[in-house]
Amino acid sequence: MNLTKTGLPNTALGILFLAIMLFPVYWMINASLQPNGTTIQATWFPIHPDFSGYATALTQQGQNLGTSLVVALGSVIFSLAIAAPAAYALSHFKVRGTNIVLFAILISQMIPGIVIANALYTAYNDLGLLNTIGGLILADSSHGIPFAILIIRAFMGSVQGSIIEAGRVDGAGHVRVFWSIVLPMSRNALITAGLFTFLFAWSDFLFALTLTTTDAVRPVTLGLYQYIGSYVTDWSSVMATAVLASLPAVVLLLVAQKFVAAGTATGAVK
């Protein structure tokens, strides 16, 4: 009885906090469906929803959404291609200075993004990588690779050495053991690292603002920023763009949440 009396207020308080945190999301969706293009006189519920804001958003920002998708997926592929072998080597090879390398990777996560962006601008200007999708992929991967190495190494370090030795006894080399044994066992960690790398790249604004100077390559974050300045009176289109930009992250989190939970709970060996 005491648990019930205690549990009800806690549940009500949790629902209240959840409602407060989700209210901006609800208002964003509500504003995107308003017919007048403004949120000043918006009703609490769109009784007569108007989807013209979404049509305008797709027309004006469709290319930017596609650019963000290509950059984010490219960053995931590039980051995992480098982070997975590096994590395997750091977790199972006896290399001198491993702790120093890991410490350097951790420190790299603390470098302010504006410092990296300014340095990359100078290098990109000399290499001709400004306003290119490849340049944005490399820039976003500078955040994704260190994080992915730390996540994947934590899981690969829990893989028993006897499993790797069994593969070696059967005649498999290090590359075959890594590809056929360790990678399949590390699926949850790979998905977790890939998901967060995708979110890093998808939500990037600093690199997009610094490394793109034309309309040829413009991620949706930068497009939305400039969109607000140009169409500030048409808030339904702005909010519709924000909703569309939020959908990939929401869908990925819903689909991959069980893999993320398993990937972060390191130490288990199948």
Local structure of residue 186 (DSSP, 8 states):
T
The C-alpha R_g of the chain, in whole angstroms, comes to 23
The pLDDT of residue 130: 92
Distances (CA, A) of 186 to 70, 127, 189: 25, 36, 5
Catalogue the E-assigned strands of 58-126.
Answer: none
The pLDDT of residue 77: 96
Please give the average pLDDT of every successive group of 10 residues along the chain, which has 270 residues.
Answer: 60 84 84 69 72 85 92 96 92 80 85 88 91 94 91 83 76 80 86 91 92 87 77 75 88 77 48
The pLDDT of residue 270: 41
The pLDDT of residue 232: 64
Distance, CA of 137 to CA of 114 (rounded, Å): 17
Residues 239/252, Cβ–Cβ less than 8 Å: no
Which stretch of DSSP H or E encloses residue 128? none
Which stretch of DSSP H or E encloses residue 130? none
Q: Quick one: which of 33, 30, 77 has its CA closest to 57?
A: 33
Residues 57/44, Cβ–Cβ less than 8 Å: no
The pLDDT of residue 269: 41
The pLDDT of residue 154: 85
Tell me, yes or no, if the pTM score tops 0.85.
no
How many angstroms separate the most distant Cα atoms in the chain?
73
Residues 155/95, Cβ–Cβ less than 8 Å: no
Distance, CA of 24 to CA of 33 (rounded, Å): 14
Domains defined along the chain, listed by start = 54-264 (1.10.3720.10)
The pLDDT of residue 268: 40
Local structure of residue 136 (DSSP, 8 states):
H
Distance, CA of 65 to CA of 143 (rounded, Å): 21
Q: Quick one: which of 146, 140, 150 has its CA closest to 76?
A: 140
The pLDDT of residue 78: 96
* Tokens matching residue 58: 């797709």
